[in-house]
């Protein structure tokens, strides 16, 4: 009674009085709370896996618990994706282990050699894929090692060992996935929607600002850096969110298409911006003045004065309509701009920029259109979605594979020669570390963090397993006794800065705590196993530091050179779908380069500038090849265009002054050949107007593409960015100013 009477009075009381209290709680919930939720979920999943494994009597229940620690991720999609690829890798690896055992069980040298070869192959394969798929490759490699080594000593038990390992890993993945998905789920999907919205809005704002010329070089560079990170992070999230829910699966291809369109659009705006900078540099004020209304019109189409940019996918149809209207009106406007200009050279400049504008407006339209398609829950992608194309580096892959082989063989030799009882542990851990960290930008630091974690985990395992657990009895008390030790490790795992140490801690703790069906109290065994693992990790760390370190100047130079090699691809790879493959693999490569770049020394900025120059030149070449391949032009002209591509490819291979002049001369020759045919075509093809219009358009495109390439090759700063294989070499300027357009 009294509570009912006082309730209304109390009601507002805490509401006002506890406002700061609640705010504090909310900030804690947003920052630290998430981490603790993750800790609690991981611990529950680990206990669940452990309990089931004990209950159904699996061989070594700790593997199930370890698997939970390994796949533990804050978001459900990441857990499911990592779990899926872990399951797949484990299955393939165990089949391979059985195969190797069947072939070479009696000969340990042959067996270890074949195992090393398989691991090397898997590690090399992993560097050619991205995200958790690479993890699956790595796992297929070292699972063969984890199963094969113990089984080689008892070949008659090999199938049982493989079945036990597979079922424990699957149990751990199942528990981690179920707990992560059911208890307070944190999905990637919701974050992905926010990323998509922010990404589109930020890009549209950037486009408007860039078209109005409100951005300086630094801001543009930063924006492109951000866009690149966005492309790569987005692909990783999309890939993992696929496993989360059927809605995410339905959305996946549209998101992939959107990312591809986004890449094309960022290059498009870069091309436009560069063209404008070149006009400024050559002081073509008349051309700039004539084009100004076109830039303004596109900016107006993206964001009319006084209107906000579309905040959601459902708000985009007006923007799409405006962009389509802009594209339809552009030819007439371009003709008007052209009419203001006196010389043919100026007109060609204007035509080139108009072609770029038309293309960019199309790309922005495509990007917005694929964004719009996300508004309807079950929609299809507006166009077929191309796959994400990673850049596979052959040398890096071979090095990673060779390093893994060398480490495995070195530790095995030590194991065999010293007849060390715990040698298996050292070999396995060295192999795992070598495989897992091969694709990281800074593997030495990661391996060091892991070793520190191993040491900490060994201490914790010693305290928990030898001092605490022997006092306790029953599963409930076991859980209570382990809780503080496990939680420390998982909390470290949840902190991005200490995730490596946390992973090492959890791995070591889980594998040496000695949770088996028959409890054993054996400090010597614990220490032996622990030190073996520590030694394995240290050997792998050494290998990363000694055998062609990932960050070594030579390897970085090689990668930088392969950025340049992308231009060969633009010149010679089959042209169908090349635009996307080129854009995508160049960005992927740049992402790898930037991940290891030193942000302090300006290396990242040099790399970004070079990559943007490569993207620009590649796009111009591909455009030229596309024009040459399309039907609209006479055969002689097309052959001429192909010849020009070959000359340019030679220039890209060895960029020196004579070749640059040669290339510019070849482009000029073809351009003059294109020029006289234009008026003839109008006279000759009077009876077939449609064909004539098609040829005119193709001709205009070809000339614009040629002119773009000529101004690019004639521009000393672009040429410098393209030609220097190592950052900091001198640009080779042309002896005289490049000849102006005819």
What's phi and psi for 171, nearest 5 deg? -60, -45
- Which of 8, 12, 20, 246 is in the footprint of another protein by CB under 8 A? 246
CB 464 within 8 A of CB 482: yes
Residues numbered 143 to 162 that lie near another protein (CB under 8 A) are: 159
Instruction: Please say which residue, 110 or 314, places its beta carbon nearer to another protein.
Output: 314
Tokens 């498009």 found at: 268
| Site track 38-77 with another protein (rule: CB under 8 A), x = hit | --------------------------------------x-
Tokens 């393939």 found at: 92
Tokens 């486009």 found at: 207
- Which of 25, 250, 336, 665 is in the footprint of another protein by CB under 8 A? 250
Q: Least distance to another protein from the beta carbon of 377, Å?
A: 6
- Which of 245, 358, 428, 584 is in the footprint of another protein by CB under 8 A? 245
Stretch that binds another protein, among 22-30, 136-144, 179-187, 426-434 (CB under 8 A): 179-187
Closest CA to 81 of 279, 321, 241: 241
Instruction: Please say which residue, 245 or 368, places its beta carbon nearer to another protein.
Output: 245
User: Does position 28 bind another protein by CB under 8 A?
Assistant: no
Residues numbered 547 to 576 that lie near another protein (CB under 8 A) are: none
Instruction: Please say which residue, 189 or 694, places its beta carbon nearer to another protein.
Output: 189
Separation of alpha carbons 650 and 628, rounded Å: 18
Stretch that binds another protein, among 240-248, 269-277, 425-433, 585-593 (CB under 8 A): 240-248
Separation of alpha carbons 642 and 624, rounded Å: 8
Closest CA to 411 of 149, 704, 28, 93: 149
Of the CA atoms within 13 Å of residue 542, those in its CB half-sphere come to 12
Q: Least distance to another protein from the beta carbon of 162, Å?
A: 11
Q: Least distance to another protein from the beta carbon of 244, Å?
A: 9
Instruction: Please say which residue, 8 or 377, places its beta carbon nearer to another protein.
Output: 377
Instruction: Please say which residue, 77 or 268, places its beta carbon nearer to another protein.
Output: 77
User: Does position 8 bind another protein by CB under 8 A?
Assistant: no
Q: Is 482 exposed, middle or buried (0-12, 13-18, 19+ CB in 10 A)?
A: buried
Q: Least distance to another protein from the beta carbon of 159, Å?
A: 7
CB 563 within 8 A of CB 610: yes
- Which of 185, 345, 596, 739 is in the footprint of another protein by CB under 8 A? 185
CB 400 within 8 A of CB 345: no
The two three-digit tokens of residue 543, written as one number: 């290998």
Secondary structure of 396-429 as H, E, C letters: HHHHHHHHHHHHHHHHHHHHHHHCCCCHHHHHHH
Q: Least distance to another protein from the beta carbon of 138, Å?
A: 25
Stretch that binds another protein, among 174-182, 297-305, 438-446, 682-690 (CB under 8 A): 174-182
CB 364 within 8 A of CB 310: no
| Site track 479-508 with another protein (rule: CB under 8 A), x = hit | ------------------------------
Residues numbered 75 to 114 that lie near another protein (CB under 8 A) are: 76
The two three-digit tokens of residue 249, written as one number: 């699966």
Q: Is 474 exposed, middle or buried (0-12, 13-18, 19+ CB in 10 A)?
A: exposed
Tokens 């496993």 found at: 243
Those residues whose C-beta lies under 8 Å from the C-beta of residue 487, and which sit 6 or more positions away, are 39, 43
Q: Least distance to another protein from the beta carbon of 134, Å?
A: 24
Site size toward another protein (CB under 8 A) is 13
Stretch that binds another protein, among 247-255, 492-500, 534-542, 648-656 (CB under 8 A): 247-255
The two three-digit tokens of residue 2, written as one number: 């009294």
Q: Least distance to another protein from the beta carbon of 241, Å?
A: 13
CB 539 within 8 A of CB 407: yes
Q: Least distance to another protein from the beta carbon of 246, Å?
A: 2
CB 232 within 8 A of CB 616: no
- Which of 103, 182, 280, 678 is in the footprint of another protein by CB under 8 A? 182
Stretch that binds another protein, among 61-69, 246-254, 260-268, 352-360 (CB under 8 A): 246-254
Handedness of CA 408, 409, 415, 416 (dihedral sign): positive
Instruction: Please say which residue, 189 or 345, places its beta carbon nearer to another protein.
Output: 189
Residues numbered 377 to 396 that lie near another protein (CB under 8 A) are: 377-378
Instruction: Please say which residue, 37 or 734, places its beta carbon nearer to another protein.
Output: 37
Instruction: Please say which residue, 87 or 506, places its beta carbon nearer to another protein.
Output: 87
- In the chain, DSSP finds a helix count (H) and a strand count (E) of 28, 0
Neighbours of 107 (CB within 10 A): 12
User: Does position 178 bind another protein by CB under 8 A?
Assistant: yes
Separation of alpha carbons 659 and 650, rounded Å: 8
Stretch that binds another protein, among 99-107, 245-253, 442-450, 508-516 (CB under 8 A): 245-253
Q: Least distance to another protein from the beta carbon of 490, Å?
A: 21
Tokens 């520590």 found at: 534
CB 580 within 8 A of CB 389: yes
Instruction: Please say which residue, 249 or 725, places its beta carbon nearer to another protein.
Output: 249
CB 373 within 8 A of CB 381: yes
Instruction: Please say which residue, 132 or 174, places its beta carbon nearer to another protein.
Output: 174
Instruction: Please say which residue, 167 or 565, places its beta carbon nearer to another protein.
Output: 167
Residues numbered 319 to 378 that lie near another protein (CB under 8 A) are: 377-378
Interface residues with another protein (CB under 8 A) are: 76, 159, 178, 181-182, 185, 245-247, 249-250, 377-378
């Amino acid at each position: 009674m009294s509570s009912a009477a006082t309730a209304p009075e109390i009601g507002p009381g805490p509401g006002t009085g506890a406002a700061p209290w609640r705010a504090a709680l909310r900030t804690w919930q947003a920052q630290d709370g998430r981490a603790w939720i993750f800790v609690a979920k991981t611990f529950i999943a680990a206990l669940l896996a452990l309990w089931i494994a004990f209950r159904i009597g699996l061989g070594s229940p700790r593997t199930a618990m370890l698997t939970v620690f390994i796949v533990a991720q804050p978001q459900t999609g990441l857990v499911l994706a990592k779990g899926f690829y872990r399951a797949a890798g484990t299955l393939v690896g165990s089949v391979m282990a059985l195969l190797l055992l069947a072939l070479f069980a009696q000969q340990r040298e042959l067996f270890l050699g074949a195992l090393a070869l398989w691991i090397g192959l898997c590690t090399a394969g992993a560097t050619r894929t991205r995200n958790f798929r690479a993890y699956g490759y790595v796992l297929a490699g070292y699972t063969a090692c984890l199963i094969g080594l113990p089984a080689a000593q008892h070949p008659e038990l090999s199938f049982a060992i493989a079945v036990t390992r597979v079922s424990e890993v699957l149990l751990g993945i199942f528990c981690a996935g179920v707990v992560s998905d059911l208890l307070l789920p944190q999905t990637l999907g919701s974050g992905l929607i926010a990323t998509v919205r922010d990404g589109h809005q930020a890009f549209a704002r950037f486009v408007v600002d860039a078209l109005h010329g409100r951005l300086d070089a630094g801001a543009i560079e930063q924006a492109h850096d951000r866009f690149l990170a966005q492309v790569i992070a987005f692909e990783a999230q999309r890939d993992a969110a696929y496993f989360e829910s059927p809605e995410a699966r339905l959305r996946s291809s549209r998101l992939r298409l959107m990312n591809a369109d986004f890449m094309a659009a960022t290059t498009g705006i870069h091309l436009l911006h560069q063209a404008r900078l070149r006009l400024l540099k050559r002081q073509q004020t008349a051309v700039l003045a004539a084009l100004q209304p076109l830039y303004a019109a596109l900016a107006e189409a993206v964001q009319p004065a006084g209107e906000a940019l579309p905040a959601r996918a459902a708000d985009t149809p007006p923007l799409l309509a405006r962009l389509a209207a802009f594209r339809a009106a552009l030819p007439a406007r371009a003709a008007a701009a052209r009419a203001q200009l006196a010389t043919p050279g100026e007109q060609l400049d204007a035509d080139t920029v108009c072609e770029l504008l038309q293309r960019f407006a199309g790309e922005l339209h495509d990007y917005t259109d694929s964004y719009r398609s996300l508004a309807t829950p079950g929609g299809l992608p507006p166009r077929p979605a191309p796959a994400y194309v990673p850049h596979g580096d052959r040398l890096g892959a071979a090095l990673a594979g060779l390093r893994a082989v060398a480490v495995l063989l070195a530790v095995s030799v030590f194991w065999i020669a010293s007849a060390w009882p715990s040698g298996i542990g050292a070999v396995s851990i060295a192999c795992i570390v070598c495989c897992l960290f091969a694709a990281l930008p800074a593997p030495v630091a990661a391996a060091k963090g892991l070793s520190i974690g191993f040491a900490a985990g060994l201490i914790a395992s010693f305290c928990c397993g030898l001092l605490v657990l022997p006092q306790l009895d029953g599963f409930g008390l076991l859980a209570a006794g382990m809780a503080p030790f496990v939680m420390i490790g998982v909390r470290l795992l949840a902190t991005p800065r200490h995730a490596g140490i946390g992973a090492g801690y959890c791995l070591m703790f889980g594998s040496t705590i000695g949770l088996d069906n028959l409890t054993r109290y054996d400090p010597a065994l614990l220490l032996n196993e622990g030190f073996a693992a520590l030694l394995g990790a240290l050997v792998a760390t050494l290998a990363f530091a000694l055998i062609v370190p990932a960050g070594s100047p030579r390897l970085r130079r090689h990668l930088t050179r392969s950025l340049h090699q992308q231009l060969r691809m633009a010149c010679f790879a089959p042209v169908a779908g090349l635009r996307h493959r080129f854009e995508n693999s160049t960005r992927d490569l740049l992402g790898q380069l930037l991940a290891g770049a030193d942000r302090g020394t300006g290396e990242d900025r040099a790399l970004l500038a070079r990559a943007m120059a490569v993207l620009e030149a590649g796009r111009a070449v591909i455009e030229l090849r596309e024009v040459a391949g399309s039907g609209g032009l006479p055969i002689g002209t097309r052959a001429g265009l192909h010849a020009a591509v070959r000359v340019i490819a030679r220039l890209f291979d060895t960029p020196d002054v004579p070749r640059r002049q040669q290339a510019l001369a070849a482009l000029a020759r073809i351009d003059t050949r294109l020029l006289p045919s234009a008026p003839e075509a109008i006279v000759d093809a009077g009876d077939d107007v449609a064909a004539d219009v098609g040829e005119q358009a193709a001709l205009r495109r070809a000339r614009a593409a040629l002119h773009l390439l000529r101004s690019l090759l004639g521009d000393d700063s672009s040429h410098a960015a393209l030609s220097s294989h190592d950052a900091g070499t001198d640009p080779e300027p042309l002896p005289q100013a490049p000849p102006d357009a005819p």
